[in-house]
Chains A and B, each alone.
Chain A
Amino acid sequence: MTFDIKIDKCVGAGVCAIAAPGIFDQNDDDGIVVVLDANPSNDQLGQLRDAAARCPAAVITLMEP
Chain B
Amino acid sequence: MSPTDTMSTKVVIVGASAAGTSAAEGLRARGHQGDIVLIGAERHRAYDRPPLSKQILQGTLEPADLALRDPEHLKDLAVNERLGVSATALDAAQASVHLDDGATVSYDRLIIATGVSARRLPHSDRVRGVYTLRTLDEGVGLRTALSEASRMVVIGGGFLGAEIAAVAAQLGVDVVIASNTSALLGHALGSEVGEQVTAFHLSKGIRLRTGHAARVKCLLSNKRQITGIAFENGEAEAADLVVVAIGSDPAVDWLRSSGLQLDDGVHCAPDCSAAPNVYAAGDVARWHNLLFDSAMRTEHRTNATDQALHVVNRIIDGDRTPYTPVPYFWSDQFTLKLQAHGHLRRHDEVRIIEGSVAEGRMVALYRKRETLCGVLAIGAAKALRQWRGHVAAQMTWDDATSLA
Report whether B380 and A14 are in contact in the complex, using a CB–CB cutoff of 8 Å: no
- Which chain B residues lie closer than 8 Å to A53 at the CB level? 22, 25-26, 29, 305, 309
Tell me the total A-B contact number using a CB cutoff of 8 A.
Answer: 68
Which chain B residues in 367-394 approach chain A with CB under 8 Å? 379-385, 388
**Interface size of B in residues (CB-CB distance below 8 Å):** 30
B-chain residues with CB within 8 Å of residue A35 when the two chains form the complex: none
CA distance A44 to B299 in the complex (A): 31
Give me the 4 closest cross-chain CB pairs, A-B, nearest first: A31-B381, A56-B301, A28-B382, A58-B68
Given contacts A12-B330, A12-B337, A53-B309, are A31 and B382 in contact (CB under 8 A)? yes
> Among residues 348 to 374 in chain B, which have CB atoms less than 8 Å away from a CB atom of chain A?
361
| Residues of A near any B CB (own CB < 8 A) | 9, 11-15, 17-18, 25-31, 49, 53-54, 56-58, 61
Whose C-beta in chain A lies nearest to the C-beta of B73?
A61
Whether the Cβ atoms of A14 and B385 lie closer than 8 Å is yes
Q: Give A61 Cβ to nearest chain B Cβ, in Å.
A: 8
| Residue on B nearest A61 in the bound complex, by CB | B70
Kindly supply a per-residue 1/0 record for chain B positions 53-96, scoring 1 wherever the CB is within 8 Å of any chain A CB and 0 otherwise: 00000000100010111100000000000000000000000000
Ordered by A's residue number, 24 sampled pairs between the chains whose C-beta atoms are within 8 Å are A11-B50, A11-B330, A12-B337, A12-B339, A13-B339, A18-B388, A26-B382, A28-B382, A29-B361, A29-B379, A29-B380, A31-B337, A31-B381, A31-B385, A53-B26, A53-B29, A53-B305, A53-B309, A54-B305, A56-B48, A56-B50, A56-B301, A56-B302, A57-B48
Most buried by B among A15, A17, A30, A31: A31
The B interface, classified by DSSP as helix, strand, loop or mixed, is: helix
Choose among B50, B70, B385 the residue that contacts A18 (Cβ–Cβ < 8 A). Answer: B385
A46 smallest CB distance to B (angstroms) = 10
- Are A27 and B50 in touch, CB under 8 angstroms? no
Given A31-B382, A54-B306, A58-B48, the answer on whether A13 and B328 have CB atoms closer than 8 Å is yes
Indicate if the CB atoms of A49 and B330 lie closer than 8 Å: no
Partner of A30, one of B69, B379, B385: B379
Q: Nearest residue in A to B335 (C-beta to C-beta)?
A: A30
User: In the complex, what distance in Å separates the CA atom of A15 from the CA atom of B61?
Assistant: 22
User: Please, which residues of chain A bring their CB within 8 A of the CB of B306?
Assistant: 54
Q: Complex formed: what's the CA distance from A29 to B361 in Å? A: 8
Which single member of B302, B328, B380 contacts A28 (CB below 8 Å)?
A: B380
Bound-complex Cα distance A37 to B213 (A): 55
Q: Report yes or no: B385 in contact with A17, Cβ–Cβ below 8 A.
A: yes
Residues of B within 8 A of A13 (CB): 302, 328, 330, 339
B302: nearest chain-A partner, CB-CB = A56
Closest chain A CB from B143 CB (angstroms): 18
B393 to chain A, nearest CB (A): 14
Among A30, A31, A54, A58, the residue within 8 A (CB) of B302 is A54
Contact residues, B11-68 vs A (CB, 8 A): 22, 25-26, 29, 48, 50, 61, 65, 67-68
Q: B234-265: which residues lie under 8 A (CB-CB) from chain A?
A: none
B163 to chain A, nearest CB (A): 13
**Closest CB-CB distance, B396 to chain A, in whole Å?**
23
Closest to A14 in B: B385
Min distance, Cβ A52 to any Cβ of chain B, angstroms: 10
